[in-house]
Chains A and B, each alone.
Chain A
């Protein structure tokens, strides 16, 4: 076993240890054991940082990969298959190393931040335990080398998310949200599970490596459509976990959880797991499946952005922004911009965590006021928060010099390249939606910054009954809220909440990732995460094809191609026009074309972002356009956005009510029809028995009784003759003798 593997397993198990210690002993430990959580995560991050350093900095090899596995379930010598084992294992490549460091770092920062944010909660210790099991599960997803293990940790992540969303379980809304999150995830998981089953049924293994080797060798026994189906079904897992349309509804509700949890789980790590998973299965996705993924991502990015512009809850804006950004990542994978999508995953994780923690600081300082309409003018009171929040916002909006610019731009470039290669038409919808969403992002983030940090303080504008309700809702977890009032207590947060903000904001700047502020492709990240070669090409069977042979060098040179001059790549793509029916060539082409579209993307996206920011200024700073009047002017659209496209209502009316209706019908069917038949049969048998009984008593027994009756009556009559007196008998004797004589004599005479 490689020493890095050993270390990674230690990293994996440390948070589990934290969970076990804290769940059982938190009440007996000083400070409810929060130092254990922070300490263990610190250790885990330290080891992860070492792994990151060894893999990325020291080795610096795009193809780096080490793996180790063990037999978990041994099914013996299975008839028809041979010896069959289900293995568990760990794989470390560049992506794993980066994710490992990212997850542990953000988890550590959230742990630290939570020591301030959650202080005084009655379930303080349990909170850290839940963070521990979440981190464990998330690291499990990152490290797993097979689909089964990923599915296991996938569900465990769902569990920890369930537990943390419902951390304030006394609140009805939190309890609803946690259930909704788990069920929406389960719907996605069904698809993922079916996808896994399709692959397993062909290869009798869950291991990525073996599945890909078998696929590449053309051993897939079912039709090509099944492989596309497998890809789309596996992607459904991502739809659920990464809150893609149409399963995105749970993520905004998940903001019922504590804000640091939103930062860790519902912004930076867990929701990114879906994207990570699609990246892991990227090579088996057929072009058709990739189209589905690309369109899903584009729709999600656009839809969430349109909703975010009207939301008033500071966390909900961020939540929809998260959904939108996840849409970008999925879009990126769908169009084949593999490296860019994962790049965006990492940059987004840092700046979105920073935004959430910043919003947490604001909410904390405002005593659990979350509605932006009643905030304002916090810039002076919370300078640190303001600075970090603004930096992260710029990154999110995608302004140059930030990390978000590099990654988002790479995705959009990939989208343009994709549309070019696919031959335009409907495919241009994807980059168009992407750019339009970029503008909307800039707009709603500008709005948020303005509403929260600038202008006048509007705490006093809040309606009184609204106050009361809000307080009541938060009573459950924050007993000391009542004594204070917003205006008095607003001040900058303590160091343990400030430090994470600063670190995360620092990680949102371009030079962490790339020396060139305009091109992420020059940075270490894109170099270390090259697009892997697909394993589903029919080209394997058509080696003799001229176009295939021409494309082969391009495929082999995927990594260098990234660095190739854009113009050359564009020409190459044009020369190979029409070759995209072969999945692997198509992939290589898209990479080239995406690179070619790099500067186009920069220009368009910069313009869109500036347009968005300008619009936000026009509306909120200069008040040239009054938002309230606009809302009235385009009321149907405004309501459509405010009510989140009515997805909740639609789902409630169809799936939830539908399920309950079916449940009630089936339950009625069960008690009345199925059981009715059983009871009916029982009644029939009983009635037949009664009938039989009647026959028995009246007819069969009747005859017996009749005989007895006859004998009895006759006897009763005859017994009258028996007086018991000897003399009577003598008289009878005489009479009999006399009678005999009469009889005898008569015979004698005649």
Chain B
């Protein structure tokens, strides 16, 4: 099941490879079908998922069974290295509470990304092959439970992303693509080192061999006492945690490693921005939750305060930077930085409320930011500019668009009744309840005001008031005697068309539904998060 959901897009990519590049429509439809099939599989996995099983660590007897679900575990690479022992890499997939939400999110965002890619006209075949490769790699990252396999998917992801930005991007695309690529690669090099160190420090309790299994690594008793990353080697464990954290923090992106994000977003085509913000950023925080924290719980305990401070910096710094932006897409990019700060803050709390909030925020940020970027794309398609100052009074002329923007914008600023609010609220509840992060939470609430400030200000400048003198569109009097606006170089429908509604309406519905009744997502999370909190708690650590 999980293999299928991971490799379905690659299969679609292979089919596309066989389709002549002139058949653009067929290529698109094959991709869409693959994405929809992925969605169906995600729903099936969701329906078959038992929320009572905790995941995170191994179940009874050291086996992942009874803890993880939909497990697929077969030996993949077995090499006898003579004096070094043997190299055992497994093809090991499985989901628990923290990954199943991400699997669902990935399937959703992938499908919406395909719809959004409909307008790509340049080298359609190459685009969709890379897109499908990207979709597979993302999904793979979320379900891989073998560190080596995770690393492979992690690296595979970079390649299509590099080309998708570098070929289909905006004017400064090469700079942005290289920046993105090198920055992420920089992080993953350290990850590789830590991964190898972990391999030689951990024994699989069942087989007695060294292992890359993240499940085995999450139990501290599986570590060899005097190994490089064993419990006795405190210094190297700290170093490993920090470099691993930086590797993931780059992806989040956490201040001060965030500057690749605005560039990448501004240059990337709309669907790639959607994928980038909707799914890729989550891999950073997912990596922290899955790998960084449970593998080095005592270092996490010591570093909670620092992580929290970085979270707060992200929230407030991102909000201020967003307030100053003139390019709408850049503003949304900085809002992403701000919102990912809430995830970091929630994680740093180290309690269930905060962590549930953080994971829920990851999901909600995925849907809400996807919506924001789609909406930016809609106006960019029409006006060929994203300068906020080039608009004004749009609400009178594009009422449906304005309504959806209002919902999305308010979702982003955390209005109750929309999903973002619950996650932000839980993050604050958690961060405030933890004595460590309480002062940080008290400062971070400022983000609520400044978040509202930049969003409402942009809303006002673009949609309210009257058309500006130097607006990107003309006013014309239509046949009915009313004034309409006309964009240069745009012959499509003025307001949202069917395809755009098909992308946006599901997201709007999800945002509202999960804002009113969050349990469908939270219910899957709680068992895993409670288990994780237990793994990370100082009480458990002191008993070791």
Interface residues of A (CB under 8 A from B): 72-81, 84, 148, 151-153, 155-156, 159, 166, 169-172, 174-176, 178-179, 182-183, 186-187, 189-190, 193-194, 197-198, 200-201, 204, 659-660, 662-664, 666-667, 670, 674-675, 677-678, 682
Residue of B nearest to A158 (CB): B415
Q: A170-B464, A663-B324, A666-B320 are in contact. Are A179 and B456 (CB under 8 A)?
A: yes
| Cross-chain contact of B432 among A74, A156, A201, A670 (Cβ < 8 A) | A201
Alpha-carbon distance A175/B438, docked complex (angstroms): 36
| Cross-chain contact of B537 among A80, A170, A201, A664 (Cβ < 8 A) | A80
B537 contact set on A, CB distance < 8 A? 79-80
Alpha-carbon distance A176/B450, docked complex (angstroms): 16
Taking a contact as CB atoms under 8 Å apart, the answer to whether B464 and A73 are in contact is: no
Alpha-carbon distance A670/B428, docked complex (angstroms): 26
Taking a contact as CB atoms under 8 Å apart, the answer to whether A73 and B519 are in contact is: yes
Taking a contact as CB atoms under 8 Å apart, the answer to whether A74 and B465 are in contact is: no
B332 contact set on A, CB distance < 8 A? none
Which residues, 284 to 342 on B, are CB-close (under 8 Å) to A? Answer: 317, 320-321, 323-325
**0/1 per residue, B431-460, Cβ < 8 Å to A?**
011000010011001101110110011001
Alpha-carbon distance A78/B532, docked complex (angstroms): 10
B396 within 8 A of A: yes
Alpha-carbon distance A169/B183, docked complex (angstroms): 44
Taking a contact as CB atoms under 8 Å apart, the answer to whether B453 and A201 are in contact is: no
Alpha-carbon distance A116/B336, docked complex (angstroms): 45
Nearest-CB distance from B458 to chain A (Å)? 11
Contact-residue size bin, chain B (C-beta under 8 Å from the other chain): 35 or more
Interface of B: prevailing SS: helix
B71 within 8 A of A: no
Residue among A76, A156, A660 with most chain B CB within 10 A: A76
Interface of A: prevailing SS: helix
A148 contact set on B, CB distance < 8 A? 425
Which residues, 162 to 212 on B, are CB-close (under 8 Å) to A? Answer: 179, 182-183
Which residues, 495 to 544 on B, are CB-close (under 8 Å) to A? Answer: 517-519, 522-523, 526-527, 530, 533-534, 537
Q: A76-B530, A170-B464, A200-B432 are in contact. Are A186 and B448 (CB under 8 A)?
A: yes
B182 contact set on A, CB distance < 8 A? 682
Nearest-CB distance from B353 to chain A (Å)? 7
Taking a contact as CB atoms under 8 Å apart, the answer to whether A175 and B464 are in contact is: yes
B527 contact set on A, CB distance < 8 A? 76
Q: A197-B429, A197-B432 are in contact. Are A73 and B518 (CB under 8 A)?
A: yes
Alpha-carbon distance A662/B319, docked complex (angstroms): 11
Taking a contact as CB atoms under 8 Å apart, the answer to whether A670 and B453 are in contact is: no
| Cross-chain contact of B416 among A153, A172, A186 (Cβ < 8 A) | A153
Taking a contact as CB atoms under 8 Å apart, the answer to whether A198 and B432 are in contact is: yes
Nearest-CB distance from B421 to chain A (Å)? 7
Taking a contact as CB atoms under 8 Å apart, the answer to whether B416 and A84 are in contact is: no
Residue of A nearest to B457 (CB): A179
Q: A171-B465, A175-B465 are in contact. Are A189 and B324 (CB under 8 A)?
A: no
B410 within 8 A of A: yes
Nearest-CB distance from A390 to chain B (Å)? 38
6 CB-based A-B contacts, threshold 8 Å: A74-B522, A175-B460, A186-B448, A197-B432, A659-B320, A678-B183
Nearest-CB distance from A677 to chain B (Å)? 8
Q: A155-B415, A194-B442 are in contact. Are A670 and B456 (CB under 8 A)?
A: no
Kindly list 4 other residue pairs between chains A and B, CB separation below 8 angstroms, not including A72-B517, A674-B259. A76-B526, A151-B416, A186-B449, A194-B432
Residue of A nearest to B395 (CB): A169
Q: A75-B356, A179-B457, A183-B453 are in contact. Are A190 and B465 (CB under 8 A)?
A: no
B256 within 8 A of A: yes
Alpha-carbon distance A159/B416, docked complex (angstroms): 9
Q: A80-B537, A197-B428 are in contact. Are A662 and B393 (CB under 8 A)?
A: no
Taking a contact as CB atoms under 8 Å apart, the answer to whether B450 and A659 are in contact is: yes
Taking a contact as CB atoms under 8 Å apart, the answer to whether A78 and B351 are in contact is: yes
Alpha-carbon distance A80/B434, docked complex (angstroms): 12
Nearest-CB distance from A107 to chain B (Å)? 19
A663 contact set on B, CB distance < 8 A? 320-321, 323-324
Taking a contact as CB atoms under 8 Å apart, the answer to whether B449 and A190 are in contact is: yes
